[in-house]
Amino acid sequence: MIQKLTKKQKKTLLRILSSGVLLASLMILGWTGVLPEAWYFRLPLFLTPYGIVGWDVLWKAIRGIRHGQVFDETFLMSIATIGAFCIEEYPEAVFVMLFYQLGELLQNIAVGKSRDSIASLASMRAEEAHVFRGGELVTVSPEEVSVEEVILVRPGERIPLDGVVRDGESELDLSSLTGESMPQAVSAGNCVYSGAINCGGVLEIIVTKPYEESTVAKILELVESSALSKSKAEGAVTKFAKWYTPTVVIAALLLFAIPSIITGDVLRWLRTALVFLVVSCPCALLISIPLAYFGGLGSVSRQGILVKGANHLEALSELDTAVFDKTGTLTEGKFRVFAIRPVDGVEEDQLMELAASAEKQSNHPVARAILEALGDKPVPDADSLEELPGRGISAACEGKRLLVGNRRLMEENQIAVVQPEEFGTLLYIAFDGVFYGSIVITDAVKESAVFALSELRREGVRKIVMLTGDRLETADRVAKIVGVDDYHAELLPLDKVRHVEALLSEKRGTLLFAGDGVNDAPVLALADVGVAMGAIGSDAAIEAADVVLMDDDPQKISAAVRIARFTKRIVRQNIAFALAVKFVVLLLGVIGFSNLFVATFADVGVAVIAVLNAMRTLAYKAKK
């Protein structure tokens, strides 16, 4: 344990032990009658252990007064202990400072452990990259590698930059990114992300992003900034402390002055006022509440969930309504051609070639599915391409107009269509004003989606809604499989915004929206908590969302909610415990049944207990 302490903590511990031994020796001498009773003899002896353990507290209090920051805990401790010396309670004065420093040391160790856990995420960053330059392999910092350069990653090394595998096969450990323990196989053509560990063969990787835009850089940026966003409880306690401490000092003065004038018992009411000062220190709340949220942020991070601040973690704890996008969130987002339905007189290959000629310039998942299904077959060239948002594509092929899109596009151009029987995303093709047929694209429901939504219901989420731009029949099928309370289909991005605005007006707690973070950016920003699904490598998702899932598993949402609610329970326990103990000891002090020993426990002891309780959030695992 001692070996794990910092140099400063070791020095503090040595001071505490030295002071404690001196204090115990003096008290034994006093009990045996060896130590004279005269104050001028006892005072310098007890000032020695007091100075050893408390000189830095006194110095901090003096510096605070010089800089106008008078009313802090060091000021309260200094006044209380100096007052104890004034009333010749020498052992109590030393003990109060001794116990205070011991409590501060334990709190520093606890906070350091919490910070180390968060900082351990920084180990995801590779310190060096091996890059091919001029026919040689040179080792440089990842920041010095440019896009399109080729890096070499050996077995056991972390991938320093995002890229695409040019050569080699291996398995990657993505646990630090996604929380998933199973290795992922990669080979030539696969995308890989910085922070992953190469568990197998040698990989040659073409860099696709500079370091500052890489996955690991964005993760570390989020982790570092997450502590800056305070929860409501943290903000309230910080504001409370600004006026609370001066009020306590004034109240202690009144508690001393008024009864002393009335009763004439100055020593008794001075002692009572000192007890009041020590008990009233708010350090238990000022330390334990931020530490609890810091620990909660660390717990979700270890599961591949990045929460951009304690305020968002607190919002998750009050989740009432969950809204999901369909494609890529509740479904795989990996489209494939399920059926080709040409009209009479049109061949399947002809229909696919027409669709591919319009879609080959697009990066849309549906376009990629069509091109993959067509394989190596030649695709006719199309020109005058025009993307029609929410409808499809208009193009010219062989001098004739080609329309590829949804039913709305066909209706706008007064083209009658034949509806196929299969469920899925329907792509209608019209050429030269004539309907040529349709292609059925399917997107499988994620295996974890049903369980994810049932887990949210177990966590008390009142309403679950699905919003999608897909057609009604497909939305209905997915809604029945996953079990949502309500769904809306054939929506444009602005339609989703209107539906979420309506749900926000009905909610009882907070509203969460989970989407792919690209075309759902407006809704992610509008929701109380925006969750980006499948966010590895997605800049738009990381920028728009409050919570980033480093894989596309919706089950992680319920895990985040459980951790958030556990964290909030810990915060409430600490607030209730600290206030209850302080109130009881204050009451005992006013009626004369308390002393500085008890008061010190009510301050430092309660703070240590609250900090240890807060540390439970750091080790908490969101069990199903």
> What would the DSSP string read from start to end of 192-247?
E-TT-EE-SS-EEEEE-S-GGGSHHHHHHHHHHHHTTS--HHHHHHHHHHHHHHHH
Taking the alpha carbons of 512, 516, 517, 522 in that order, is the dihedral positive or negative? negative
Q: What pairs with residue 488 in β-bridges?
A: 467
Tell me whether residue 325 is one of the annotated catalytic residues: yes
Q: Residue 111 and residue 299: Cα distance in Å, rounded? A: 15
* Beta strand extents in 144-275 (DSSP E only): 150-153, 163-167, 170-173, 184-186, 191-192, 197-198, 203-207
* Closest C-alpha to 5, from 91, 113, 95: 113
Taking the alpha carbons of 69, 74, 79, 82 in that order, is the dihedral positive or negative? negative
Q: Residue 200 and residue 181: Cα distance in Å, rounded? A: 15
Number of Cβ atoms within 10 Å of the Cβ of 7: 7
Which residue blocks in 67-188 are alpha helix, DSSP H? 73-86, 90-119, 175-178
Catalytic position from the list 72, 162, 173, 325: 325
Question: What is the C-alpha radius of gyration for the chain, rounded to an integer number of angstroms?
Answer: 33
Give CA separation, 384 vs 226, 354, 359, 361, in Å. 47, 14, 12, 12
Q: Residue 102 and residue 251: Cα distance in Å, rounded? A: 27
Question: What CA dihedral angle connects 336, 478, 303 and 297, to 10 degrees?
Answer: 130
Q: Residue 323 and residue 620: Cα distance in Å, rounded? A: 27
Written as six digits, the tokens of 415 are 């083209």
Give CA separation, 600 vs 96, 197, 266, 517, in Å. 6, 50, 22, 51
* Beta strand extents in 410-462 (DSSP E only): 425-431, 434-442
Three-state DSSP at 174 gives coil
Annotated catalytic residues are 325
